[in-house]
Structure 1
Amino acid sequence: MKSLIILLCMAGLNVSCHEAKTTSATKDDHMKIDTATFNAIYDRFQEPALRHRRFKHHEVDSLIKEHEKRGQLGIQQIGRSFEGRAIYEVTFGKGSKKVMMWSQMHGDEPTATMALFDLFNFLGSKGDEYDNIRSLLKENLEIHFIPMLNPDGAERFQRRTAQGIDMNRDARAGQTAEGALLRARAKAIAPQYGFNLHDQSIYYNVPNTKNPVGIALLAPAYNESREINPVRENAMKLAAGMNEILQQYIPNAVAKYDDTYTPRGFGDNFQSWDASTVLIESGGMKGDPEKQQIRKLNFIIILNALIQIAEDSYARFDKKQYEEIPFNVSQMHDIVIRNIEIGPDSTTFKTDLAIRRGETTVGRDYYVRGRVEDIGDLKESFGYEEIEAEGLKFIGGKVDYTNYLNAASLSQEQAFELLKKGIMAVRVKEEVLKEKALHDLPIHLFTQSTFYLPMSPDFGGMASFYIGDRNGNLKYAILNGYLIDLTKDFDRNIPIKNRVH
């Protein structure tokens, strides 16, 4: 360890360097990499081919083959999915501690898969100032990665396999080709450590705060009584180490996932198979619809955890530090509007509205449907965006049935000008549906003979309306679940994902 620290100092790494007094990992002799260094590593090795969540198996397959050509990582096809897509295992290191991690067993949970390819770029490089980190991992660990375990689900961007089975409930029976493969690899490798990599709903928040949970962690239970044996305790310590660095990036935005024992779940079973297993759930962050910032956090906490396993330095954490992490609660929405007036003057009432956007996948793209998620007293609810609407009222939008011959070439600014005039939907020619089925305009486009906009909020109904004062002056548009401030210039950074109706 002393020689390792000296090497790090000579290499110029931004680490805390001191002379080690003991080789015990419980002493303060471990590698300390600060956030600036982690940021620099990530920026250099981020995989540029993966920028959006809906990448397909052929893209992953192509990247795997590139790493195979470079020859720095072990590459092995270990099986095929139900529909015949190749599933790969990537290996690194020759040490005695075996680590196994798998991503995207749910096909619509791709964030960690992107982070693993960033990590492959880092581990598969050499000849730079980070070689001592790679050497530490290579000499102490034998890491087995299985990226995109559910390629059939990923192809459709759906949670379940092509068989319609939730693979994360198939650890016991092994009814899916992919679940049976993961069980077989676990038996063959017999890892001491496991990482189960997922995405969770973006609508979880830290209790009693409006902070969305960026990352949720869990040391899964291995039995129904959720006892803590040494295997699970080590997982808790690893999670505590992850939380320590996460607090430097997303303070008060980390939570624990529900630890109810699931006898069919892979994380619970890996824990019972004597692999100290941590579940990492990628959540939500404002302004990060493609989860690129959360992808970076995955890369950092996984790399940091691997270093701590290599050194045994995770042992310095206490299970109490893990237990102090709060559990997820689901109180988040895309928009919360408070104290808005509803109805005509004679029957006006005041209430709160919560709005969420649901995604529908179309190939590599998607569109959303904004809906009214809740109506009523929502003091305990929070929004990524919130409006205090005291003194403001719900105003229905107008529909323009004029056929816009040039609607396919409408700019966002032109659509915004229509929106400011109270026009929320315009009819277009049928050919526009072919040319521009999906669009990013701040207005609804439709081809049918009629199009209805809500004149009052309807639970579960369309979230497209205005908020204005009692004189009818429009302040905000809620367009398909997106908040647009009509008193300001149009914000082109609003990631509107709409479709022609």
Structure 2
Amino acid sequence: MGRIALSFGLIAVLFSACQHVEQTISSSKKDFSDAMTLTTQEWDSLFATYKEPTIKHRRFKHSDVSALVKKHGESGILQVENIGASAEGRSISELTYGNGSKKVMLWSQMHGDEPTATMALLDIFNFLEGKDDGADSVRNLLKDQLQIHFIPMLNPDGAEIYNRRNAQSVDLNRDARALQTVEGKILAARADAVKPSFGFNLHDQSIYYHVPKTKNPVTISVLAPAYNRERDVNETRGNAMKIIAGIQEMVQKYVPDAVAKYDDTHSPRGFGDNFQKWGASTVLIESGGLKGDVEKQEIRKINFVIILNALIQIAQGSFEQYDIAQYEDIPFNGSSLMHDVFIKNLEIGTSEVPLRTDIAIRRAENTSDRDFFVRGWVEDLGDLQESMGYDEVDGSDLHLVSGKTAPQSINSVSDLTADQAFDLLKQGYLAVRLQSGIAGEQLHQLPIQIFRQAQFYPTSRIDLGGTANFYIADSSNKLRYVVLNGYLIDLSKPLTQNFKNRVL
């Protein structure tokens, strides 16, 4: 194809030659060659077709991925190689597609608790094995122009327990210089063997960054890492910046004003910085937050779209249409001023010592094998005018009210339905005692606190780092909201949230 400066919106040109053939093969399948621009609806259709159905949540294990890798190896379309083993002996695999002259490496989950891009890579593997769906010419383009090397789970030991670091408690993304870990050595060895011209370093980041000058969380964070302390821009880094400009343009179609840049201070220990130094135009993609997308399935789709689109633009050479200035225009991540719940100007004092102030609340995830529960706490209080939340309340005419424990206990978590729990909440009861039940950790999704101990203590006063279980009432003492374990619930609206709680 050569280095033709085409926008992805003109990808239809690549499809047009095979339009008639594909329509003849199957008139029932979606035809991606009949539009000058692939719309988000068309991308959504493509993603829905190839989304890996066995992976539905973030806390999947190495065994899940290795089974899928084995399946893809048996298809013969992706070439699978075992490139080594982790510190605890789990296999690390590389899947290769295409025989073109442009070499690309993508590695994901070098931090075990950052799995969003891994899910998207599994979806892309399914796409690469597809056929007769209107997108055969895309697969042929990638196959002919690129040689793509995927490492979908570099840190399987960390993934096993949903932990950032490897089994030796080392951060793999701080091991590019010393190469002290077996996993770091494997990645560096593959970089030396493949000598890629392009690299994609795929991560997740905190959901609490915001896009400056907006109240939006950063959904996708990007970076063309610096290869030296001076942050110089040579052709290699410049090409990464142009690819990112294309990524930013694509994300805009899904979530406007949701992209920011990661800090570009040079890290001599980081793999992205070193790949850039080794001559691979390297793009860092960090999956952040999106309201309502707790398991990051929408962000998974966005990853599928932007990674596949970037590969197409590399194959075409069409990333060169973008200007480095477009990358420079992307704002840096805003400070962590985003919270799960932000309550503005709430009265939380006493009649003797009144206090009307702002409250910021966050929820921490605690892993329980393949699931998790949360613990909500007060992150900050005081003058927080610059803060924001995924859920917000203006408390100017409202005040804090302490909750109560339901007078009747239950024998089992299954004794309560979500509707019954919600009815108790509306009556001012935010906790119920479990008389008996299964010993040990017990998770539930009910909108109420369930406890075993002799007494439950609702939040009667707001303390920094303290619990977040209280009501918010209006001037007539009517209960308007409840903050339950860090979740904000509007008592006047139907219950639509999903809760991740545990018996206390």
Q: TM-score, normalised by structure 2?
A: 0.93
> Residue 256 of structure 1 is aligned with which of 248, 251, 261?
261
Q: Which residue of 2 aligns with 1:23?
A: none
- For residues 95-494 of structure 1, what are the structure 2 equivalents within 5 Å? 95-329=100-334, 330-400=336-406, 402-433=408-439, 437-489=442-494, 491=495, 493-494=496-497
- Residue 501 of structure 2 is aligned to residue 498 of structure 1: yes
> Residue 49 of structure 2 is aligned with which of 19, 27, 44?
44
Aligned residues: 484
The aligned amino acid for 2:387 is S
CA shift digits 1:110-138 (9 cap, x unpaired): 00000000000001222332110001000
Q: Distance in 1 between matches of 2:168 and 2:64?
A: 23
Q: Distance in 1 between matches of 2:35 and 2:455?
A: 67
Q: Is the 8 A contact 2:344 2:395 kept in 1?
A: yes
Q: Distance in 1 between matches of 2:311 and 2:425?
A: 51
Q: Distance in 2 between matches of 1:324 and 1:498?
A: 41
Q: 1:177: how far off?
A: 1.0
The aligned amino acid for 2:104 is V
Q: Is the 8 A contact 1:15 1:34 kept in 2?
A: no
The aligned amino acid for 2:499 is I
Identity, % of aligned pairs?
A: 56
Q: 1:13: how far off?
A: 2.5
CA shift digits 1:147-180 (9 cap, x unpaired): 0110000000010001000110011111111111
Q: 1:496: how far off?
A: 0.5
Q: Distance in 2 between matches of 1:294 and 1:369?
A: 24
Q: 1:39: how far off?
A: 2.0
Q: Distance in 2 between matches of 1:9 and 1:223?
A: 47
Q: Distance in 1 between matches of 2:34 and 2:173?
A: 38
Unaligned runs of 5+ in 1: 18-31
The aligned amino acid for 2:383 is D
Q: Is the 8 A contact 1:433 1:447 kept in 2?
A: no
- Residue 32 of structure 2 is aligned to residue 13 of structure 1: yes
Unaligned runs of 5+ in 2: 5-12, 23-30
Q: Is the 8 A contact 1:372 1:457 kept in 2?
A: yes
Q: 1:452: how far off?
A: 1.5
Q: 1:238: how far off?
A: 0.4
SS at match of 1:386: strand
Q: Which residue of 1 aligns with 2:8?
A: none
Q: Distance in 2 between matches of 1:43 and 1:254?
A: 24
Q: Distance in 1 between matches of 2:388 and 2:56?
A: 29
Q: Distance in 2 between matches of 1:346 and 1:469?
A: 19
The aligned amino acid for 1:48 is P
Q: 1:249: how far off?
A: 1.1
User: Cα–Cα, structure 1 residues 389 and 8, in superposed 2: closer, same or farther, change >3 Å?
Assistant: farther
Alignment RMSD, CA only?
1.6
Q: Is the 8 A contact 1:72 1:125 kept in 2?
A: no
Q: Is the 8 A contact 1:215 1:280 kept in 2?
A: yes
Q: Which residue of 2 aligns with 1:27?
A: none
Q: 1:358: how far off?
A: 0.3
Q: 1:281: how far off?
A: 0.4
The aligned amino acid for 1:478 is V
SS at match of 1:347: coil
CA shift digits 1:381-436 (9 cap, x unpaired): 111111011111011111346532244321111111111111111221242445x8
Q: TM-score, normalised by structure 1?
A: 0.94
CA shift digits 1:349-380 (9 cap, x unpaired): 11000111000000001000001111011111
Q: Distance in 1 between matches of 2:242 and 2:309?
A: 13
User: Cα–Cα, structure 1 residues 213 and 295, in superposed 2: closer, same or farther, change >3 Å?
Assistant: same
Which sits farther off after the overlay, 394-403 or 185-194?
394-403
